[in-house]
Structure 1
């Protein structure tokens, strides 16, 4: 996708009712179709990839959920996990771990943010630094 198209999509202003209606439709579709798609995808990977593709399938889903969390929780995470001058959460194309990594490099994590990084890095060493996506800039 070209940058001009991404910028127009990000800056697109939606009527509150249109935004709310599209949000509700997306929630209904997500709740009703995701289980079917997940089950189909799970068995598709098993039968076509002999389990080797299953880890990648789960990782793709995890990254997508992480990106969703970055958007939904942006205001709370900006308040709790970074200092005022930090690289902000909220870009729909970026994971929470990538934002944490950028703030770790910049020294703009709050005390709570540093604790979250320690927990993630205990589970997966250097997780937030390895998760940094340098091709994504702040949405601000």
Structure 2
């Protein structure tokens, strides 16, 4: 009886083990694919963006510059989020006094945003404070602004969701009204 239970438990453990190995390999493959696609597409996409922005006759020079700046800022934010997720545990060790308070590594947060939260919480060590000081030289109150941008994005999403719900409600009421006639 004990032998049967042992093999039953071993079988389920092995199944879970190989499932986890398979998931890990797929994740690594997806990362490699993303890196290859970025390497191949980055330069052509940048050139296309610049040419398209310049050729668009409806846009003025100010619009071309702001659109191109927005494009590059979006890329920088995406890379910043990747860095936060990929190196979260390392950054926790490197920059924080307590890695449980507001840790790095959460998706959809930038390194600067997490630094801003930890600065506000008084949870940065000397290296973390030095990085925040360096970022503040590049842009005044950079980490604080990054932290606040999370609030603004969340508020925008909630407001947008409410607006969509109202539109859906209006459509359903219109359909119900038309169905009567």
TM-score (norm 1): 0.78
- Determine if contact 1:121/1:127 at 8 Å carries over to the other structure: yes
For 1:60 and 1:20, locate their aligned partners in 2 and report how far apart those are by CA, in whole Å. Answer: 24
2:93 corresponding residue in structure 1: 79
Q: How many residues align?
A: 123
One of 102, 127, 132 as aligned partner of 2:142: 127
For 1:87 and 1:119, locate their aligned partners in 2 and report how far apart those are by CA, in whole Å. Answer: 21
For 2:30 and 2:42, locate their aligned partners in 1 and report how far apart those are by CA, in whole Å. Answer: 17
2:125 corresponding residue in structure 1: 110
- Determine if contact 1:83/1:108 at 8 Å carries over to the other structure: yes
- Determine if contact 1:86/1:109 at 8 Å carries over to the other structure: no
Q: Which structure shows the bigger proportion of residues in helix conformation? A: 2
Asked whether 1:25 is paired with 2:33, we answer: yes
Change over 3 Å in CA distance of 1:126–1:22 after alignment to 2: same
1:61 corresponding residue in structure 2: 75
Q: Which shows bigger deviation, 51-60 or 95-104?
A: 51-60
Instruction: Give the C-alpha shift of residue 121 in structure 1.
Output: 0.9
1:97 corresponding residue in structure 2: 112
Change over 3 Å in CA distance of 1:90–1:42 after alignment to 2: farther
Deviations 1:60-107, CA, capped at 9 Å, x for gaps: 111111111111221211111112233111122111110000001111
TM-score (norm 2): 0.62
**CA RMSD in angstroms, aligned pairs only:** 1.8
Asked whether 1:35 is paired with 2:49, we answer: no
Q: Any gaps of 5 or more consecutive residues in structure 1? A: 1-12, 136-140
